[in-house]
Every structure is written in structure tokens, then in C-alpha cells.
């Protein structure tokens, strides 16, 4: 696999001084593209909530709701 150097070559790029600097009034060249930036990702983790945490949260909410409704009915 061949990887391209993302830095511009001062010998072939117009507007660059020796050493890669840009003279006043010149627009610097665009940055290099890194198409092969990282390893291939073959496993994408699931996004969103799993069913177990949703069920546990629903149980806690229901228990708190039952407690407050029972407390309210007991006061009246």
C-alpha cells in the first residue's frame, strides 16, 4: 500500500520559499489529504440505549411514582 506525504513539496509547489515558508502576499497551499489516516474499523458499537438500562430506569420511576401516590392517598 502506498501512502502519500501530506506535506507539500517546496520544490514543486508554487509560492513556497526554500524551507516551506510562504512569502508575504501569497496564499499558502491547501493542507494535504490523509485518505489512509487510521486503521480500518470493522466493529462499530451500538448507538443508543440498551434494553436492560431502560427497564431498570422504568422500574425505579414506577416505584417512586407508587410511593408518592401511596403517600398522597394516605394523607387525604
The 10s digit of each residue's pLDDT in 9-25 is 666 666 666 766 777 76
For residue 20, give the nearest of 10, 29, 11 by alpha carbon: 10
Decide which of 57 and 20 is more confident.
57
With a CB cutoff of 8 Å and minimum separation 6, the contacts of 6 are 31, 32, 33, 34
Lowest-pLDDT choice from 21-25, 30-34, 47-51, 65-69: 30-34
- Determine the Cα–Cα distance for residues 54 and 60; give it in Å rounded to an integer: 10
- Grid cell of 61 as nine digits: 420511576
- Grid cell of 55 as nine digits: 427497564
Amino acid at each position: 500500500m502506498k501512502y502519500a506525504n501530506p506535506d507539500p513539496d517546496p520544490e514543486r509547489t508554487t509560492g513556497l520559499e526554500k524551507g516551506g515558508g510562504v512569502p508575504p502576499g501569497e496564499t499558502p497551499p491547501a493542507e494535504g489529504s490523509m485518505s489512509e489516516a487510521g486503521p480500518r474499523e470493522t466493529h462499530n458499537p451500538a448507538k443508543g440505549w440498551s434494553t436492560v438500562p431502560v427497564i431498570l430506569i422504568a422500574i425505579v420511576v414506577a416505584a417512586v411514582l407508587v410511593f408518592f401516590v401511596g403517600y398522597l392517598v394516605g394523607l387525604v
